[in-house]
Amino acid sequence: MKVLGIESSCDETASAVVENGRFILSNVVNSQIDLHTIYGGVIPEIAARSHIEVINPVINQALAEARLTWQDIDAIAVSYAPGLIGSLLIGTLAARTLAIIKNKPLYPVHHVEAHVYANFLSVNNESEPQFPILALIVSGGHSQLMLFKNHGDFEMLGQTQDDAIGEAFDKVAKIIGLPYPGGPSISQAAQNGNASAYQFPMARMQNPYDFSFSGLKTAVLRAVQREANVDINFPSTDLAERLTDTQRANFAASFQSIAVETLVNRTLLAYQNFHPKSVIIAGGVAANQALRQKLTATIPITVKYPPINLCTDNAAMIASLGYYRSLSNSPFDPYQLEVEPSLSMSKR
Ligand code: KG4
Ligand code: ZN
């Protein structure tokens, strides 16, 4: 079964064709990073306009690269939640329209759940994850630990109570003067830094699987203000230029180290208590090498993670989840589908 996936929840316009949930026939991603870098973050209005411009060419390219026509496509999957409303609307409207005019079954999927399915995509013909799966989902908008008993049957063990981890990487990068997106630029700068240069606190939570990163971000801000010899009213936008490259690298390394330790601690505890058959990481922050290394060294079984281009937003993961959804669910009425910008993971 060949599913065409469509993704437009944030700042990537993407389309892909995946066979039987596992085999990528094409995977096209049009990133808007260049458009947003000058603002230091995603501007929703600009994101939506860019999606409109490229959505049709991106879908056509996904078909062309797979060497397929609409006749060969068995179903359409689209991320309808969560995300930026203007962005979600473009992909969802495209999917609804195509489902109607090409007469294809439509499977709306949850973007965060779909990140997990990047681990079901076959890259080197490796086997798929085995249930129960412990999934650490870490992206720009989400940080959560989930236990999947089966496809569509999952339990939220813990989640962030404030900022997502990717958001913390992006905000800290801004404070210390590294380019957007902060994740890759912090991990690169951290390679030349001393992770013990600054001591940051790890938040203690009532639910041991929950996260909190906003205190850590503020702790970094205060430490940067101290190093720069300014008080807390000094404009944070002018702070970065007062740091040396060495200080910048040390902040990047110290922040990354405590952020990674927090994620690894929670995941290890969940592993010990729930005995999953597979442990996987997913989402943009799963691209982080320090996280991959520390998790691999700490968890007794193999930790599975996707290649970097499948960690960040893409439509292959959407098509994969759409396929597994189609095995147990009826297609959704394309006339009834609405976007749900702040929906947490649910069992549609
Ligand atoms: O999953 P994603 O592409 O979009 C969302 O659904 O949010 O994740 C984007 C996030 C950004 O916050 C970015 O800074 C982070 O993933 N990221 C990383 C790395 N690469 C991307 N964070 C840490 N280390 C990286 N290497
Ligand atoms: Zn994402």
- 45-62 pLDDT, tens per residue? 888 899 999 999 999 999
Q: Which of 115, 139, 185, 342 to mutate to test the pocket of ligand 1 (most atoms within 8 A of CB)?
A: 139
Binding site membership of 340 for ligand 1 (Cβ less than 6 Å):
no
Binding site membership of 287 for ligand 1 (Cβ less than 6 Å):
yes
Looking at the CA of residue 180, tell me the nearest atom of ligand 1.
14
Q: Is it the case that residue 348 has pLDDT exceeding 60?
A: no
Binding site membership of 184 for ligand 1 (Cβ less than 6 Å):
yes
Q: What is the mean pLDDT of residues 3-7?
A: 98
Cα of 312 from ligand 2 centre, angstroms: 6
Encode pLDDT of 117-164 as tens digits.
999 999 888 889 999 999 999 999 899 999 999 999 999 999 999 999
At 69, phi and psi to the nearest 5? -115, 175
Q: What is the mean pLDDT of residues 85-105?
A: 97
Cα of 342 from ligand 2 centre, angstroms: 13
Looking at the CA of residue 170, tell me the nearest atom of ligand 1.
14
Q: Is it the case that residue 39 has pLDDT exceeding 90?
A: no
Percent of the chain with pLDDT over 70: 99
pLDDT band for 346, please (50, 70, 90 cuts). low
Ligand closest to 12 (CA) is 1
Cα of 289 from ligand 1 centre, angstroms: 12
Q: What is the mean pLDDT of residues 27-38?
A: 85
Q: Is it the case that residue 329 has pLDDT exceeding 90?
A: yes
Q: In what order do the strands lie in the sheet with 153-159?
A: 153-159, 143-150, 133-138, 278-282, 303-304
**Where are any strands of DSSP class E within 21-63?**
23-31
Q: What per-residue confidence (pLDDT) applies to 347? A: 53
Binding site membership of 158 for ligand 1 (Cβ less than 6 Å):
no
| Cα 299 to Cα 116, 288, 295, 296, 314, distances in angstroms | 18, 17, 6, 6, 27
Cα of 108 from ligand 1 centre, angstroms: 23
Ligand closest to 167 (CA) is 1
Q: Which residue minimizes the CA distance to atom 5 of ligand 1?
A: 140
Cα of 93 from ligand 2 centre, angstroms: 19
What is the distance, to the nearest Å, from the Cα of residue 236 to the centroid of all Cα atoms in its chain? 27
List residues bridging with 158 in a β-sheet. 145
Binding site membership of 86 for ligand 1 (Cβ less than 6 Å):
no
Encode pLDDT of 239-296 as tens digits.
999 999 999 999 999 999 999 999 999 999 999 999 999 999 999 999 999 999 999 9
Q: Which of 269, 308, 274 is nearest to 154 (CA)?
A: 274
Q: Is it the case that residue 309 has pLDDT exceeding 80?
A: yes
Q: What per-residue confidence (pLDDT) applies to 42? A: 82
Q: What per-residue confidence (pLDDT) applies to 177? A: 95
Average pLDDT score over the chain: 95
Ligand closest to 164 (CA) is 1
Pairing of β 75-81 and β 2-7: parallel
Count how many Cα atoms sit within 13 Å of the Cα of residue 3 in the half-sphere of its side chain. Answer: 31
Binding site membership of 182 for ligand 1 (Cβ less than 6 Å):
yes
Encode pLDDT of 157-213 as tens digits.
999 999 999 999 999 999 999 998 999 999 999 999 999 999 999 999 999 999 999
Q: Is it the case that residue 35 has pLDDT exceeding 90?
A: no
- Collapsing DSSP to helix, strand or coil, 210 comes out as coil
